[in-house]
Amino acid sequence: MASLVLFGKNWITFALLEFIQLKDDPLGYITNLWNLIDLSSLVLCALFVFFDFSVTISREANNILGAVAVLLLYIKLFYWLRIYKSFSAFIRMISEIVMDIKVFSIMLFLCLAGFANIMMVVNNNRILNGTDSVFTDFVGWGPANALIHAYLTGLGDF
């Protein structure tokens, strides 16, 4: 119970800071990526705690919500680690690598989407002919299953 009280006090403090920034410069606040990450992490953490106590969504959906919230909190942690000189060089290097890898990521996604499309067509033909499916059902949605299968095939998992 003490951790819940501590969470509530910290959440209110950080929410007030975010709303003060939003009030001072709304357009500047919305266009800054770090502010959006801050606001998103606040909202997701509050939703996770609320859904954990109210049990209005499934445990699995709440765990996914919590995982995204934790990811955003770690991104914020890396942002704040830039304050220390020993961490700042590494954080800057990772940031620049992520910025440089954008074009490669888009190309990789397009290639995976192309192979996933081929796999979906082959899989649908096999299902219509009554034979076994090419790939297993991972998430219950054909395009996502095909994309995951194309990615795993690219990694060498045949």
Return mean pLDDT, the chain. 88
- Asked if residues 109 and 148 have their Cβ atoms less than 8 Å apart, the reply is no
User: Which residues have a Cβ under 8 Å from the Cβ of 144 and sit 6 or more positions away?
Assistant: 138
What is the predicted pLDDT for the residue at 158? Answer: 67
Give per-residue pLDDT as tens, 55-82: 899 999 999 999 999 999 999 998 889 8
- Mind spelling out the 3-state secondary structure of 15-31? HHHHHHHHHHCHHHHHH
Euclidean distance between CA atoms 91 and 78, whole angstroms = 7
What is the predicted pLDDT for the residue at 1? Answer: 65
Euclidean distance between CA atoms 50 and 59, whole angstroms = 12
Q: What percent of the chain has pLDDT over 70?
A: 99
What is the predicted pLDDT for the residue at 127? Answer: 78
Q: What percent of the chain has pLDDT over 90?
A: 41
User: Which residues have a Cβ under 8 Å from the Cβ of 122 and sit 6 or more positions away?
Assistant: 134
